[in-house]
Amino acid sequence: MKAEIIAVGTELLLGQIVNTNAQAISQKLAELGIDVYFQTVVGDNAARLRQAIEIGRSRADLLLFTGGLGPTQDDLTKDVLADYLNRKLILHEPSMKTIEELFTSRGMAMVESNRRQALMIEGSEALHNATGLAVGNALKADGTLYMLLPGPPKEMKPMLEGPGQEWLRSMLGDEKPLFSRLLKFAGIGESNLEAKLLDLIDGQHDPTIAPYAKEGEVSIRVSTKAANAEEANAKIDATVDLIRARVGEHLYAQEDIPIEEQIVKLLRRSRRRLASAESISGGLFAELVTNVPGSSGEFAGGVVTYTNAMKNKLLGIPMSQLEGPDAPGAISESTAKLMAENVRLIADADFGVSLTGVAGPAEAEGKPVGLVYFAIAEKGKETVVHTATLSGGRSIIRLRAVKAAMYRLWQALKE
């Protein structure tokens, strides 16, 4: 099946927003085995939208619209498509009721234009909007499939994942639904991971193994069609075992979570707590860990000691360690060790993690940009210090340093 994604919205043509919907929809269609040959963006203009529909129909079996389902006069997608198909717009009563109830519960009078969000093309299937008011539409007309999704990603995504996907599968005539599992990796680059799995990726067709590139993350999606979840899991497990045999030490999760979330889970499971002492990363490690909901029980606290005076004052690191002709300096293996150990003791935590290094733009202590030391101090164990030479701009070096430290912490935790 050939598909075209048509995003409707003048704000896209003005560059006010980026078309993340096209990416999300493309990923989903790829997962379903539907080929996307074109993505089109058109403004809130009836004539040009109609033209896009005509062109799309001539070259695709499925037109997937996003945007233009809202209450204003600019929201034209349903009107234009209904007109093109010579069909009427009818009211979807359940959606209308939801809208009315919302306004009543807020003690507000409903503006008439809100009725527009409950309209649907005659003969179409309503797609429930779990996170907004505009109902989605799906229909088949004259051999072409049409799906209308809302524009805001927080409405579009749940609709596509839920009723949208279900409808697409029914149109594909799939007897067996598709099951997939995301594998998340740390401590290994994307190209390196791909190289190690290349023959599996290329040679295996059920389940399929597809690399998934996303900023700062390395993931693989394993997908298969199966009669039920049990059958699918058995097939996927067998493939995961093949992958694990090659790169298992980097596989930190079989669901879409960042490594810091896995770390918080492992800490919680073992009733242990973490503290951090950061120099190069300036609080990024603490920020990512505490951004995990409910992490307050697992994160005791952290310090951002940018200056030597603060390393001395907050962490009790002797000035003789930090300054002077024979001192190892702030950016050194021994300082990283002391930072991790001392913050662990101060916070009365089970793990202490430290990061010190040079993020740039200039070198420091005569040490080059990209040099990083990080240490993992664990209660009752020998502290381990790692070193890395990272490339990239200032923010990238900081992020890579933090992710490298998290990888080592995760390794220590899962033992």
Residues numbered 391 to 410 that lie near a second copy (CB under 8 A) are 394-395, 398
Do 137 and 121 form a contact (C-beta atoms < 8 A)? yes
Site for a second copy in 91-150 (CB under 8 A): none
Q: Is 188 helix (H, G, I), strand (E, B) or coil?
A: coil
Least distance to a second copy from the beta carbon of 231, Å? 27
Residue 410: burial class (beta carbons within 10 Å; 0-12, 13-18, 19+): buried
* Residue 414 binds a second copy, judged by CB under 8 A: no
Q: Which residues from 302-331 bind a second copy, rule CB under 8 A?
A: 302-307, 309-310, 313-314
Report the C-alpha gap between 85 and 57 in whole angstroms: 11
Residue 199 vs residues 56, 193, 196: alpha-carbon distances, Å? 37, 12, 8
CA dist., res. 64 & res. 3, Å (int): 7
Q: Which stretch binds a second copy (CB under 8 A): 129-137, 197-205, 261-269, 287-295?
A: 287-295
Which of residues 135 and 399 has its CB atom nearest to a second copy in the complex? Answer: 399
Query: Binding segment for a second copy among 29-37, 174-182, 199-207, 245-253 (CB under 8 A)?
Result: 29-37
Determine which residue in the list 72, 296, 320, 389 makes contact with a second copy, applying CB under 8 A: 296
From 1, 32, 38, 188, residue interacting with a second copy (rule: CB under 8 A): 38
Q: Which is nearer to a second copy, 154 or 176 (CB)?
A: 154
Minimum CB separation of residue 59 from a second copy in Å reads 7
Q: How far is the CB of 358 from a second copy (least distance, A)?
A: 11
Between 235 and 278, whose beta carbon lies closer to a second copy?
278
Residue 259 in contact with a second copy, rule: CB under 8 A: no
Q: How many residues bind a second copy (CB under 8 A)?
A: 71
Closest separation between CB of residue 335 and a second copy, Å? 15
Q: What is the CA radius of gyration of the chain?
A: 27
Q: Which of residues 44-63 bind a second copy (CB under 8 A)?
A: 45, 48, 51-52, 55, 59
Q: How far is the CB of 390 from a second copy (least distance, A)?
A: 15
Which of 30, 15, 53, 6 minimizes the C-alpha distance to 151? 6
d(Cα 196, Cα 187) in Å, to the nearest integer?
Answer: 14
Residue that the structure tokens 């560059």 belong to: 15
Separation of alpha carbons 332 and 335, rounded Å: 5
Min dist CB 53 to a second copy, Å, is: 13
Q: Minimal distance in Å, beta carbon 226 to a second copy?
A: 23
Among 191, 291, 320, 389, binds a second copy (CB under 8 A): 291
Alpha carbons 288 and 298: distance in angstroms, whole number: 13
Which residue has tokens 């997908």? 223
Work out which of 86, 111, 362, 382 binds a second copy, going by CB under 8 A: 362
Is residue 333 packed enough to be buried (19+ CB in 10 Å), middle (13-18) or exposed (0-12)?
A: middle
Which two structure tokens, joined as six digits, stand for 373? 């030391």
Q: Does 203 bind a second copy (CB under 8 A)?
A: no
Q: How far is the CB of 99 from a second copy (least distance, A)?
A: 22
Among 70, 151, 360, 370, binds a second copy (CB under 8 A): 360
Q: For residue 14, state whether it binds a second copy (rule: CB under 8 A).
A: yes
Q: Are strands 217-225 and 208-214 parallel, antiparallel or unpaired?
A: antiparallel
What is the smallest separation between the CB atom of 295 and a second copy, expressed in angstroms? 8
Q: Helix, strand, or coil here: 349?
A: coil
- Are 200 and 209 spatial neighbours (Cβ–Cβ below 8 Å)? yes
Residue 415 CB, shortest distance to a second copy, in Å, is 25
How is residue 11 written in tokens? 């704000």
CB 162 → a second copy: shortest distance, Å?
19
How many Å apart are CA 23 and CA 340, to the nearest integer?
41
- Site string (162-201) toward a second copy, x via CB under 8 A: ----------------------------------------
Distance of CA 8 to the CA centre of its chain: 24
- Is residue 1 a contact residue for a second copy (CB under 8 A)? no
Q: Which stretch binds a second copy (CB under 8 A): 144-152, 200-208, 340-348, 371-379?
A: 340-348
* Cα 403 from Cα 405, distance rounded (Å): 5
Buried b / exposed e along 186-196 (16+ C-beta atoms within 10 A)? bbbebeebeee
